[in-house]
Structure 1
Amino acid sequence: MSQPPTSPHAPQPGGDAPQGGYPPPQQPDAVGAPPYAGPPAPPAKKRSVVKIVLIVLAVLLVLCLGGAAIAAFALKDDVKEVVDAANTTVSAPATLAGRPQATDPGLKAVADGLVTEMKKSVQNETSTAGAFYGDPAKQDLLMIAAASGVMVDPKKELDDAVTGLATQLNVTNMSAVDAGPLGGDAKCGDGKSEGVPLGVCLWADKGSLGMIVQYYKSAAELKSEFVTMRGQIEQKG
């Protein structure tokens, strides 16, 4: 198994972003900048997207994919498991549980940056997915981040991601939930970052690792749709 790659050196969320415009997701120097006297505060919509960017940077530290150890199985592993895992892919569907992909240019740029960083950071990945869904103006917004590839120890990858979430997004009360017909393990919990409440669910199986973050909602609300959403993101065979 190859050594896990180094996660992107994204800053930890919590600082104020510079005024005006969307900060590029791959410019950590823009995060944590000290407040300064200057132009008036940006509109509420723009400020809310800045918060979303900071939360995405935190997710990159955890998921990228926590430095997911994607590698070949040992010979002792079941051949069918290896084949199923190798044939697993992830993608960002046009809609997720009835929500269309977000069309806001700032959110699309952040999602593109998320995918780019995952492709850089995850070794031997076979596919990646990153996107936003819903309408932030209605406080109905989801983010997905996932990668596929043969996982040596999916339970460890899940546990490592949970540990990272506790630090980066203050996620607590992580508990096991039904992973659905695709199998593997899944956990959900409540988080908060930049003053935004978050419902967070993750899954890991021998072919993929993924995360769904629902902004402005609790894990209890996300759990009810988790299996449906995962089934629309992950495909086997």
Structure 2
Amino acid sequence: MFLWILVILLIVAVALAGGAYAAGLIGGGGSSSAAAPTGVPTTAPASTAPTGSGGTAASNPGPGTAASTMKVATPATLGGTEKLKTTAKNKPSATPDLFPSTARAEGVFGLDDRNIMYVWALSGATVAQEERAALFGAEVGNRFDTGALIAVEPGPIGGSAQCGDGKWNGRPAAVCVWSDPDSDGVLVDSPGNPEALAGKLSALRAEIEKPA
């Protein structure tokens, strides 16, 4: 009998202890947060999205490109040389109207009647470049008695250019002719040689032909 009483008391004690433990877990669950696992970041990584407005900068075409229009004008000086007062000895033959154009550059530059540089150029024509170049080249050949012209570097303005030997009022001269989508022109240097004039052609054209 006494043994049975001890067994009953033991069962009651175990039951009470289990209830107290369960009550402790329930009571503490809302007061503390679970610890974050180690090795896992608790903040989000910084954004790598660009902060700028995005897009690319527009590029601007330079002189001589398809988007630009060039116009000729007679410069005050050419290659650092002043315009020469026209006389009977240095006056060029009359320049014909080969085709309609909106701008013309023409002048004689030099130190005296026997050391000259002559320019004649047209721009703003509505005639196709191939036709203009053929007409202009034929006129240059007739006026300055040129032989075969050899292709040379036209320079940054572009187009095509040729140079060769010719005549200025019966005297030997170097002649360079150019053609591009906007203009046609000729430079005559007397006395001079084609190679030297070809080397100066790019710089001289830049003094005559500029963006409109």
Normalising by the smaller structure, the TM-score range is 0.5 to 0.7
Determine what percentage of the aligned residue pairs are the same residue.
Answer: 26
Greater RCO (CA < 8 Å, at least 6 residues apart) = 1
For residues 154-190 of structure 1, what are the alpha-carbon distances to aligned partners after superposition, in whole Å with 9 as ceiling and x for unaligned?
A: 2443244333444443211301111111111111110
Residue pair 2:140, 2:186 contacting (<8 A) in 1 also: no
Tell me what 2:104 maps to: 128
Tell me what 1:203 maps to: 178
Q: Which structure has the larger Rg? A: 2
| Partner Cα separation in structure 1 for residue 188 and residue 115 of structure 2 | 11
Residue pair 1:188, 1:202 contacting (<8 A) in 2 also: yes
| Partner Cα separation in structure 2 for residue 181 and residue 204 of structure 1 | 13
Residues 198, 150 of structure 1: CA spacing in aligned structure 2 closer, same or farther, 3 A cutoff?
same
Q: Aligned pair 1:106/2:106, yes or no?
A: no
Q: Matches of residues 55-204 of structure 1 in structure 2 within 5 Å?
A: 81=66, 84=68, 87-102=69-84, 104-106=85-87, 110=91, 121=97, 123-136=99-112, 139-192=114-167, 194-204=169-179
- Secondary structure at 1:173 match in 2: coil
TM-score between both structures, scaled by the size of structure 2: 0.60
Tell me what 2:17 maps to: none
Unaligned runs of 5+ in 1: 1-79
Residues 193, 129 of structure 1: CA spacing in aligned structure 2 closer, same or farther, 3 A cutoff?
closer
Unaligned runs of 5+ in 2: 1-64
Residues 123, 94 of structure 1: CA spacing in aligned structure 2 closer, same or farther, 3 A cutoff?
same
Q: What's the offset of the Cα at 1:89?
A: 1.2
Q: Find runs of 4+ consecutive structure 1 residues off by over 4 angstroms.
A: none
TM-score between both structures, scaled by the size of structure 1: 0.54
Q: Alignment RMSD, CA only?
A: 2.8
| Partner Cα separation in structure 2 for residue 211 and residue 154 of structure 1 | 15
Q: What amino acid maps onto 1:153 in structure 2?
A: A
Q: What amino acid maps onto 2:197 in structure 1?
A: L
Tell me what 1:59 maps to: none
Q: What's the offset of the Cα at 1:105?
A: 4.5
- Secondary structure at 2:118 match in 1: strand
